[in-house]
Amino acid sequence: MTTIGILGAGQAGSTLARAAIAAGYDVVIANSRGPGTLAALIDELGPHARAAHATDAAAAADFVVTAFPYAPGDKLPVEALAGKVVLDTNNYMAWRDGNYPEVDSGLKTIHELRQEQLPTAKVAKAFTHIQFHARSPVRVDGQSRDELIRNLQSARRTPFS
């Protein structure tokens, strides 16, 4: 069974967790406030989900999704992510995140900055357009697991090394 670690439990992280569990995966999810604050989400997600600290979620996962905005001072579990694929969902939004001169000048992308934070991980851009809408189910009635996976796989991805 593939286990997906999700760092961030906001709109993108919780939506990815729902989709992953619907597709048959196990999820370990973390946020900046600690696993105890995720009890309601874990209850909603069911037995294929558990909450953990970021380091434990990263260590338990076959691959990890970062579902929170980039910040230069982020303390990420670098050692636990060494050698792992990390899918970065971040979009650069200066109005939300502040300005980063390297990005504003075109010298680097926000994902390249994330790669610098995780020098021994393999960072790729993915799922950058995920939004949560309570009225839209993750899987519609009658949609097979394979159809859901194909839909997830068709998302545009631009890898960075």
Torsional class of 57: left (φ above 0), alpha (ψ -120 to 50), beta (otherwise): alpha
Return d(Cα 86, Cα 50) in angstroms, integer.
Answer: 19
Q: What is the pLDDT of residue 161?
A: 35
- What's the sign of the alpha-carbon dihedral 133, 138, 48, 129? negative
**Domain residue spans in the chain?**
3-159
Return d(Cα 28, Cα 61) in angstroms, integer.
Answer: 7
* Predicted model pTM: 0.78
DSSP code, position 121: S
pLDDT (tens place) for every residue of the chain, 161 residues total: 799 999 999 888 998 999 999 999 999 999 999 999 999 999 999 999 999 999 999 999 999 999 988 888 888 999 999 999 999 988 888 888 889 999 999 999 988 999 999 999 999 987 766 554 454 455 555 555 566 556 555 543 434 43
Return d(Cα 93, Cα 134) in angstroms, integer.
Answer: 24
Q: What is the pLDDT of residue 129?
A: 63
Q: What is the pLDDT of residue 96?
A: 83
The burial of 114, by beta-carbon neighbours within 10 Å (0-12 exposed, 13-18 middle, 19 or more buried), is given as: buried
Q: What is the pLDDT of residue 1?
A: 73
What per-residue string of b and e applies to 64-93 under the rule 16 or more CB within 10 Å gives b?
A: bbbbbbbeeeeebbeebbeebbbbbbbbbe
Is the Cβ–Cβ distance between 115 and 78 less than 8 Å?
A: no
Q: What is the pLDDT of residue 142?
A: 56
Q: What is the pLDDT of residue 95?
A: 86
Q: What is the pLDDT of residue 158?
A: 39
Phi, psi of 112 (to 5 degrees): -65, -35
Fold designation for 3-159 = Rossmann fold (3.40.50)
